Structure 1
Amino acid sequence: MDGKVFVRDGRRIVCFERYLKHPVEKVWEAITRPDQLAQWLTVKSELDLNVDGQLVLRWDNGDEVTGKFTKVEAPYELEYTWLESSSGNSVVRWMLKEEGDGCMLQLMHTFPESVAVIDFLSGWYVHLDVLDTVLHERFTGFPDGRVKEMRKRYASMMS
């Protein structure tokens, strides 16, 4: 459930694995449809869900991520570049695998080694919690305070 950080080939990789009690197809829609992303990740997104297709993710605070899809293998694997002013260029990879009554989700976010990853660990942790809540149709609002809690927790674990 907790995110882990690996260093490989001069890059840092933030990795999460979560079991979600939902079919792969339902989780795929949640990570690839703008109306679904608006519920758990970002307020607005534009996606051309094809290899070399562009993506733009926008948040209420003005933050924006741009990128392009490098792998689209519905409904099991999705990869795209992630470019933002605060962390530079990185890569996000989603893998979904049927397991039991649901699926195993693996998220890997790969950065240059110089990027501080605590914000991404805490952010992805909470966003994945919210994703599960949205999939269960129990979402009531984004828990901003939880991100701050997780940031403190990861900072203490990494020091």
Structure 2
Amino acid sequence: MDLGTSIEHRGRPAVRFERVYDHPVERVWEAVATPGGLAHWFPSAVELEPHAGGKITFSGDPNLETMTGTVVTFEPPRRLAFTWGGDELHFYLEPAGDHGCRLTLVNVLERADTAARNAAGWTVCLAELDKHLAGAAAGGPHSDTALPWRQVYEAHVSSGMPSGAPIPGAPRETPDTAN
């Protein structure tokens, strides 16, 4: 399992993932930059105005309220970036080998202590993207067939990735419940 890497991106904490697919850049772009493609693996339903400065809406995530962001970069089929709450997501696509594509996902974080939590989420989501691009059934990151988020999170924490942010849907720890 590729746990991703904790990095700094333009002076902010971030987590970075890289995948190589045996598909052309245009096919991977469709999966990561269109509402229909995102529906197979992204944690929220997405509607976006396909241009820099456009509005992007996230809904249907059982752990988050509906929210909007801004498309920061829209350069088909190579770059997409948008805001999501206090975070930014950056997708970079480039040719790899004769017919493949390298996808790099960088989640620029609002706070460093969200690194393990968000990286676990992206690990689960990217496993669903891997299935989708391989032609297998991808039920999405909230499905019963997705990787178990808690185990992935614990692996990220064990690897030393910054942690401690609240986990949506989990009871908040207090000094009495932390032991």
Pick the TM interval, shorter chain. 0.7 to 0.9
With over 3 angstroms needed to count, the CA separation of the structure-2 counterparts of 1:118 and 1:11, relative to structure 1, is same
Find the aligned partners of 1:120 and 1:43 in 2 and give their Cα distance.
14
Pairing 1:5-154 to 2, within 5 Å after superposition: 5-7=6-8, 10-61=11-62, 63=64, 64-83=66-85, 89-100=86-97, 101-141=99-139, 142=143, 143-154=145-156
Q: Is the 8 A contact 2:55 2:68 kept in 1?
A: yes
* Secondary structure of 2:3 counterpart: coil
2:41 is aligned with what amino acid? W
Q: Deviations over 1:74-111 (max 9, x none)?
A: 0001111111xxxxx11111000011131110011112
1:39 is aligned with what amino acid? H
Find the aligned partners of 1:80 and 1:8 in 2 and give their Cα distance.
15
Q: Is the 8 A contact 1:7 1:113 kept in 2?
A: no
CA RMSD of aligned residues (A): 1.9
Q: Is the 8 A contact 2:6 2:13 kept in 1?
A: yes
Q: Is the 8 A contact 2:58 2:68 kept in 1?
A: yes
Instruction: Quote the offset at 1:40 in angstroms.
Output: 0.8
| Number of aligned residues | 154
Find the aligned partners of 1:69 and 1:110 in 2 and give their Cα distance.
14
Instruction: Quote the offset at 1:113 in angstroms.
Output: 3.9
Which piece of structure 1 moves more, 1-10 or 89-98? 1-10
* Secondary structure of 2:43 counterpart: coil
Instruction: Quote the offset at 1:118 in angstroms.
Output: 1.2
Percent sequence identity over matched residues? Answer: 29
2:47 is aligned with what amino acid? E
Instruction: Quote the offset at 1:33 in angstroms.
Output: 1.4
Query: TM-score scaled by structure 1?
Result: 0.87
Give the aligned partner of residue 167 of structure 2. Answer: none
2:149 is aligned with what amino acid? V
Where does the alignment leave 5 or more consecutive residues of structure 1 unmatched? 84-88
With over 3 angstroms needed to count, the CA separation of the structure-2 counterparts of 1:62 and 1:17, relative to structure 1, is closer
Find the aligned partners of 1:145 and 1:131 in 2 and give their Cα distance.
12
